[in-house]
Amino acid sequence: MIRSIRLGSVLLGILYLNSCSQEGSTDIPVLRVPVTVEEVGLGDISSFISLTGTITPIEEMDIVSDVSGVIHFEPVGGGRIKGGDPVGVDQVVAKIENEEYVLNIGLEGKALALEHAKRDLEDKKKLDILGGATQREVENAERTLLSAETAYKTALINLEKLNIKSPLSGTFTEVESFVEGQKINAGAIIGNVMRYDIVKCNVNITADDFANVWKGQEVIVTNISRNEEIYIGEVTNVSPTIDPVTRTFKLEIVIDNPEYHLKSGSFVKVDIVVEKRQNIIKIPKRVITTNSGRDVVFVVENQVARMKPVVIGLQDSDYAEIIQGLNVGDLLISRGHEALKNNTKVRISR
């Protein structure tokens, strides 16, 4: 009797639960994992050889005095030239005073000799017409004039050496601190001038990467010391010989530097563009996981997380090209995918 009552109670309980399930099933809460999604779209991607290097000026030359004597600096912007001042090619930055040097050149005497040679040649030509001079005398007068012209031009060139000029356009870098009116020797280095509107960077590549670089190749240069500014450079030279010590090849990269933000000695990150693809499906690499040896991602379909095997193509540091497995417009789970399994019910959070 007791057994019958218990069995009846169990049956009533099952019927009651079944009734509740049929009549109020919509009120039973369903646990869903919150996830963040992003729509799959098209983009560009490149692969790189990443290196580091140091910036040097494209050109650099010393400003040298060819003559000894007393130095007098030319005023630049209200004062004598100093480090950081811009200079133009052949701009006079200082002058040398040396009376003995000037006297030894004898410019005035060479000028008089030149005038005499000119008049003598004219006289000889007139006499030649009248029969008063021979052809040989005319030729001798021509040679004398040529020698006088050469001597005069040489004197002008030597006098010009008293002007200390910048050999190129760029930025003046003070090397030696000379006092106004100080006596200096011939060959003294007054300063240094660097051209900075274009700079270069030499890097070393391994033998494995040598086949993937070429002259004219695009390079992305990141200025680490200045808020990671980005510059576009170009490979201008690839050494064909390997360094016997480092077992690497030297590569020269030239970079436009119109704002002069890249300074000599600046440490930069160099990304040599090996391959570039455009209008391809690309996704963040962080959303790609591995399942049973396959690369997979999760997408949302009908409020359920679906595991999608993908085939990866080109990659950079942050993104990967998807050759197969995703379509434009798919809702890719970008956050919350770490603990998901296939067919997990999810809730898209904003």
Instruction: Give the pLDDT confidence of 91-147 residue by residue, as tens digits.
Output: 999 999 999 999 999 999 999 999 999 998 888 888 877 777 788 888 888 999 999
The tokens of 241 are what? 């010989």
Q: What is the mean pLDDT of the chain?
A: 87
The runs of H, that is alpha helices, within the chain are: 2-24, 99-105, 107-130, 135-160, 207-210
Determine the pLDDT at residue 10.
34
Determine the pLDDT at residue 228.
81
Judge whether 33-44+278-348 and 49-57+195-277 match in fold: no
Considering the domain delimited by 33-44+278-348, tell me its CATH architecture: Beta Barrel (2.40)
Under the banding of pLDDT at 50, 70 and 90, the label for residue 174 is confident
Three-state SS for 218-244 is: EEEEEECCCCCEEEEEEEEEECCCCCC
Q: Is 88 helix (H, G, I), strand (E, B) or coil?
A: coil
Determine the pLDDT at residue 62.
94
Under the banding of pLDDT at 50, 70 and 90, the label for residue 23 is very low
Instruction: Give the pLDDT confidence of 312-335 residue by residue, as tens digits.
Output: 999 988 999 999 999 999 999 999
| Residues 162/69, Cβ–Cβ less than 8 Å | yes
Q: What is the pTM of this model?
A: 0.66
The tokens of 68 are what? 């000894």
Q: So where are the chain's domains?
A: 33-44+278-348, 49-57+195-277, 99-161
Distance, CA of 135 to CA of 157 (rounded, Å): 33
The CATH number of 49-57+195-277 is 2.40.30.170
The whole-angstrom distance between residue 342's C-alpha and the CA centroid of its chain comes to 46
Amino acid at 54: T
Instruction: Give the pLDDT confidence of 251-295 residue by residue, as tens digits.
Output: 999 999 998 899 889 999 999 999 999 999 999 999 999 999 999
What backbone phi and psi angles, to 5 degrees, belong to 21?
A: -65, -40
